[in-house]
């Protein structure tokens, strides 16, 4: 049986040879493919592990406007799925190139080569229109050249590749460049040249491979916590030290990664809810004929019924070893990531969360960081399927708004800090982003180097 929703089968190639710093003599299109993969997520604390993205590449940025209000209306799954859909559309548009990306809960960021610009612009516009027509959500989309970021400030777009599993390499970003790009694109005037208009660039999007077929995965402990941490410091080296210490504290409080991972195979259940499957249906059948929509819904339920049987058993069906699917699912999940700030979804007890909050609060009081925590009963997963034999990636967010709600709390912290008379004068490197939008403060201080969703939505 041919499974609908399957991307054309392809093995994700990995580079195992050691490579040095990227140079202009190399083919820029293959910059990310040629980076060697590092072995540990904790390498984010070491600046030497990051490589500067070529100036002729672009940054694609998407976010759901008003996502917090949508989540408060109970639409957190729709917000999550729309945010992930733009990544799927871009990855399909840039085939066969490998590109780095990060999922932020209510949006995404992807870096891509200039040779793919037209295709990516059309894919982003397709995601924008789909979000509006299928979910009545406004998806802001834009693409800005990396060279613009590098020329406008001392911020840099740097990326590292981390081997999460034998079948999944995750991108980590540092240098403040993504933050600067996001700030520009969200600014009404400065971002106008880079925001995309479907009537100007055209529309052509393929969401093939995106799946939303699992119930919320209950926490294996008392709760699932979404954590955001953004460092405040006077040097990039100090930033790395702060993140290293936070990661060490998380391990001290919650134990090893396997102990606090938010997903467990025995808790994962394919959904039996029409309402839960509706989001995938709306995304994947957008722009299709009535016949195609009816057939997709019928085929989707056939797959779900078969899945109830084969996924829970170590059987081979349709050329797929389904006994490997759940273990690979857990291994290929992005429950922690880094894109100029630390994002982490973990499971634990209420007391563990309180202990982590006390630690983070003590660092915040010293003006070393700001943070956001959002507890929930479980984790929400959105999937990108390249093929069901190993090559599938799963975006993890806390249920009930996870990252977006944690960001709301983080934004409130930053505003309070900026209003405080004890807030120290801004060091030079904090002002390197030079955002067009600035926080209103009593002392006229610039907003610090944080993602702009802390000051805008």
* pLDDT per residue rounded down to tens, the chain (457 residues): 333 333 333 333 333 333 334 444 356 899 999 999 999 898 888 888 999 999 999 999 999 999 889 988 989 999 999 999 999 999 999 999 999 999 998 899 999 999 999 999 999 999 999 999 999 999 999 999 999 999 988 889 999 999 999 999 999 999 999 999 999 999 989 999 999 999 999 999 999 999 999 999 999 999 999 999 999 887 888 888 999 999 999 999 999 999 999 999 999 999 999 989 999 999 999 999 999 999 999 999 999 999 989 988 888 888 888 989 999 999 999 999 999 999 999 999 999 999 999 999 999 999 999 999 999 999 999 999 999 999 999 999 999 989 999 999 998 998 888 777 766 654 433 433 333 333 323 233 333 344 443 444 4
The kind and range of the H/E element at 89 are helix 76-94
The pLDDT, as a whole number, for residue 9 is 33
The pLDDT, as a whole number, for residue 424 is 60
Which residues have C-beta within 8 Å of that of residue 351, sequence separation ≥ 6?
none
pTM of the model: 0.85
Of the CA atoms within 13 Å of residue 7, those in its CB half-sphere come to: 26
The two three-digit tokens of residue 387, written as one number: 């093929």
The pLDDT, as a whole number, for residue 38 is 92
The two three-digit tokens of residue 445, written as one number: 């201080």
Distance CA(111)–CA(89), nearest Å, equals 13
The pLDDT, as a whole number, for residue 423 is 63
Measure Cα distances from 23 to 28, 44, 55, 360 in Å. 9, 22, 11, 39
The two three-digit tokens of residue 347, written as one number: 């499971």
The pLDDT, as a whole number, for residue 422 is 66
**Sign of the C-alpha dihedral, residues 418, 420, 423, 428?**
positive
Distance CA(427)–CA(366), nearest Å, equals 15
Distance CA(382)–CA(332), nearest Å, equals 12
Q: Dihedrals φ, ψ of 244, to 5°?
A: -60, -45
The kind and range of the H/E element at 81 are helix 76-94
DSSP secondary structure string for all residues of 94-152: HTT----EEE-SSEEEEEEEGGGHHHHHHHHHHHHHHHHHHH--EEEEEEEEHHHHHHH
The two three-digit tokens of residue 449, written as one number: 């180097």
Which residues have C-beta within 8 Å of that of residue 246, sequence separation ≥ 6?
229, 342, 360, 363, 369
């Amino acid at each position: 049986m041919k499974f609908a929703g399957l991307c054309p089968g392809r093995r994700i190639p990995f580079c195992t040879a050691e490579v040095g710093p990227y140079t202009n003599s190399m083919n820029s299109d293959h910059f990310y493919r040629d980076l060697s993969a590092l072995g540990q997520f904790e390498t984010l604390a070491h600046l030497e592990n990051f490589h500067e993205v070529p100036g002729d590449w672009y940054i694609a940025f998407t976010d759901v406007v008003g996502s917090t209000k949508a989540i408060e209306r109970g639409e957190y799954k729709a917000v999550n799925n729309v945010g992930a859909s733009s990544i799927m559309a871009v990855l399909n548009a840039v085939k066969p190139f490998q590109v780095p990306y990060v999922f932020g809960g209510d949006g995404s960021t992807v870096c891509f080569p200039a040779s793919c610009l037209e295709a990516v612009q059309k894919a982003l516009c397709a995601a924008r229109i789909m979000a509006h027509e299928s979910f009545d959500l406004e998806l802001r989309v834009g693409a800005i050249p990396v060279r613009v970021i590098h020329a406008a400030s001392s911020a840099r777009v740097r990326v590292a590749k981390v081997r999460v599993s034998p079948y999944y390499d995750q991108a980590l970003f540092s240098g403040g460049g993504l933050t600067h790009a996001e700030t520009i694109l969200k600014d009404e005037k400065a971002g106008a040249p880079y925001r995309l208009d479907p009537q100007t660039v055209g529309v052509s999007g393929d969401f093939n491979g995106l799946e939303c077929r699992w119930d919320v995965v209950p926490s294996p402990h008392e709760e699932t916590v979404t954590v955001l941490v953004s460092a405040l410091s006077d040097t990039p080296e100090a930033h790395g030290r702060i993140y290293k210490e936070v990661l060490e504290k998380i391990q001290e409080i919650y134990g090893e990664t396997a102990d606090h991972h938010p997903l467990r195979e025995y808790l994962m259940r394919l959904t039996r809810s029409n309402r839960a499957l509706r989001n995938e249906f709306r995304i994947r059948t957008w722009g299709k004929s009535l016949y195609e929509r009816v057939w997709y819904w019928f085929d989707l339920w056939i797959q779900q019924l078969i899945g109830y049987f084969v996924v829970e058993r170590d059987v081979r069906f349709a050329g797929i070893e389904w006994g490997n699917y759940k273990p690979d699912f857990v291994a290929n999940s992005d429950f922690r990531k880094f894109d100029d700030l630390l994002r982490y979804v973990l499971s634990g007890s209420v007391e563990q969360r309180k202990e982590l909050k006390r630690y983070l609060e003590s660092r915040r009081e010293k003006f070393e960081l700001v943070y956001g925590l959002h507890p929930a009963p479980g984790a929400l997963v959105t999937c990108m399927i390249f093929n069901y034999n190993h090559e599938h990636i799963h975006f993890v967010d806390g249920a009930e708004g996870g990252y977006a709600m944690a960001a709301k709390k983080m934004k409130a912290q930053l505003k309070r800090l900026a209003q405080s008379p004890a807030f120290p004068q801004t060091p030079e490197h904090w002002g390197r982003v030079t955002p067009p939008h600035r926080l209103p403060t009593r002392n006229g201080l610039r907003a610090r180097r944080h993602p702009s969703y802390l000051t805008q939505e």
